[in-house]
Chains A and B, each alone.
Chain A
Amino acid sequence: MMAIAMSEVFPRRAERGVPPGLDAAVLTRCRAQDPVAFRAFVVRYQNMVFALLSRMLGHGAEVEDLAQETFMRAYRAFPTFELDGAAKASTWLLTIATRLALDSRRKKKLHLADLDETDVAEVAVAPGTPEQSLHHRQLGLAISRVAATLPDDQRAALLLCEVHGLSITEIASALLVPENTAKTRLFRAREKMREALAGEWRTP
């Protein structure tokens, strides 16, 4: 039987949800727990961390608290972060945030809050005509609702791959599962999203 390399079956997505990396000098200072450099690190990656956590947990104060905890853990662990290692700072940070989100879900049994129209109106800024804008908001709501039905680990795998561009190996590491398990979770999440949102995605 011919083996297919994981990277061929699961090519890394473009890293659309990850900002450009900080230069090595700043990361070196972060590693030395230099507060000035670490602040730059927070500013650079805060949107990415909020995006992951809010899509895992729903919008709210919990997201801000966990985002802060994510950065605090990163700060404490920075001296052990290998600047020349395989993991990028953004991937490492997403891993911390993902585990915190999953732990929070497990401990508190949070239910993803459905966004009401007011929430979406506040956050959604869609370009184009009013009709396109309305569709964008409705699509956002639909994605959020379908994603809320996914098991936490599948939603995490979906976000890490489709939004943040992590590879299967990186997702497996973030979720603390073997690569085959990560692959299965991602596959099932995509399948469910496609099945539930096919009509929405086709609408112009």
Chain B
Amino acid sequence: MSVNEHEPLEEGALDAWEPQLPPANFADRVMSGVGDANAPMEQAKPATNVVQLRSRSRWRGAALAAAAMVAIAAAVFVKVDTTPLHGEAIAADHRIEVAIGGNRAARAKAVLEPGAHVVWDGDLVTQDSGDVFYRVEPGAKFRVHTPAGDVDVLGTCFAVKVRGGGQERSGDMQKRDMKSGVVGAALSAMAFVAVYEGKVAVSHASEHVDLVAGESAQIGPEGATRSTSADLGKKAFDEKVAAQGSDPVSVANGNLVSQVQDYKQRLEALAAQKTDVEKKLDATEKKLASATDGGPPRNRSEYELDSEDWADLAKRGKIKYRTPCLKADSATTTDKLSALGLSPEDGAVLKGAYGRSYDRIWGMVRPLCLQALGTSEAIVDKIGVNQCIHLVYDLASQADRDGTSEAHIQVAEIRAGIRPEPPVDKQPATMKMMLALTAEQGAFESDLARTMGPEEAHRVAWSDDICVSNNSWGTAPRGSKK
């Protein structure tokens, strides 16, 4: 194969192949599915010192209460006026989500990063600090006022970052801690707006800049500057904010930074303790679930067994196995290959593997069948492999029921690795046959792997679309017989 044969198609060669476009409400459809999987978005609550914790079962209540006590100082404050259309939210140590514009029919949702503060009055939101991500329902007029300028939107999804221009806040002890750090802050207010969906208008003094999805703008003392790339815009904004650090004003606020850092460190230490407690609880929960529910859900075929599966089967006196179909021709048609994600050229590989699987099984069963029936080779060949497997099993069961039952258990124990495999000449017929059958799918996969590679061979061998025979044989568990 020469390198030229690998040349890509001409640029745009497939452009005329028209794609289907998503419907206008597709994102909403997806999000409704996401909503089903999630608890509803947290609404702002008329309470202070709300600790956000996941719901836990009763037995962990005491431990959680302890965690809550530890974490109380790191709580998120959400304060709402008596009128639901008015509210205030501060994210102290971790991200919070709030509905803005009323509790019943929220017009917008906002996600506040730690350090962000918003106050809203109807559809007018004042964001004086931090990073907030907004999602506004279509049709709602919505304005975000920042110290650097205003952002007007009409149904969109965007983020606003505010730096500098700190506002005075009132509140309880923790808020005063924050406030003390903010007093005297006089950094030049700057804001960065990135639009992910829809359109927004950014205003600064008499300047007005319209942004569409993918664009961003920076608002500062010099006015509003648009960037056609959110990433580039953010980079420029971050650089500008960093550059402010060398301003005399910023230097004068060194104490502020120090105090805020100290506050953050205390909060982080408390949050770490809380996380540690939660992790321990999670680990205990998983152990408990594993013990009571039988472990995590299975993500492989019920015939693809590991040692634990085999140990479990041994206890129940069962074996399970999968073998490839014995008729290779019908299993390697073009349709079957396509269903397996294979090319017609792969047919020969698969057919060869099927053939060798048949030879292995028949090579083992045929002499056992001859021995069990005590008849001629011609008759055994006429009976065929499938009937022979059942005949060998049935005749052995009739001759020695307990021995055959024990063979199930011993084979499962051998596969579980808790019993050594006896020498071939010591194996009774049923055990020999069961050992061969329970190993066949692995042999088939190894055969395919020589050509396809291990990953592809595994995918093909355990595909739901490959022609196989699934079998489960059982007997009574040890000690259950009367």
Contacts and interface: CB of A to CB of B under 8 A. Distances in A.
Interface of A: 4, 9-11, 13-14, 16, 20-23, 25-26, 29, 32-40, 42-44, 46-47, 49-51, 53-55, 59-60, 63-64, 67-68, 71-72, 75-76, 102, 105-107, 109, 115, 120, 123-124, 126, 136-137, 139-140, 143-144, 147, 151-154, 158-159, 161-163, 175-178, 180-181, 183-185, 187-188, 190-191, 193-194, 197, 201
B455 A143 contact: no
B325 interface: no
* Overall SS of chain A's interface: helix
Given A36-B109, A55-B19, A140-B16, A42 B26 contact: yes
Nearest to B12: A16
A141 to B, nearest CB: 8
Interface string B1-21: 101011111111110111111
Interface stretch (B228-236, B252-260, B401-409): B228-236
Contacts of B29: 68
Contact of A162 (B9, B135, B345, B459): B9
Nearest to B229: A20
Contacts of A37: 111, 133
Nearest to B27: A42
Interface stretch (B30-38, B44-52, B422-430, B436-444): B30-38
A139 to B, nearest CB: 4
Nearest to B465: A106
A190 B4 CA distance: 12
Contacts of B465: 106-107
B343 A185 contact: yes
26 contacts: A4-B3, A10-B6, A16-B11, A21-B231, A25-B131, A26-B196, A53-B20, A64-B23, A68-B29, A105-B338, A106-B340, A106-B463, A107-B464, A115-B18, A140-B17, A143-B16, A144-B18, A151-B343, A152-B341, A153-B341, A162-B13, A163-B14, A178-B455, A180-B453, A181-B452, A201-B10
A20 to B, nearest CB: 7
A72 B19 contact: no
Contact of A72 (B21, B34, B338, B345): B34
A178 B16 contact: no
A188 B344 CA distance: 11
B343 A33 contact: no
B251 interface: no
Contacts of B231: 20-21, 23
A109 B337 CA distance: 12
B32 to A, nearest CB: 10
A176 B340 contact: no
B31 A42 contact: yes
Contacts of A63: 20
A29 B13 contact: no
Given A36-B135, A105-B339, A9 B21 contact: no
B74 interface: no
Contact of B337 (A72, A124, A143, A151): A151
B134 A68 contact: no
B75 interface: no
Nearest to A180: B453
Given A23-B234, A158-B14, A178-B453, 15 more contacts: A26-B196, A29-B133, A35-B35, A36-B97, A68-B29, A71-B30, A75-B37, A105-B339, A106-B463, A143-B17, A177-B455, A177-B456, A177-B459, A183-B6, A190-B8
B21 A40 contact: no
A123 B13 CA distance: 18
Contacts of A194: 9
B157 interface: yes
A40 B459 contact: no
A186 B337 CA distance: 17
Contacts of B18: 115, 120, 123-124, 140, 144
B121 interface: no
A76 B33 CA distance: 11
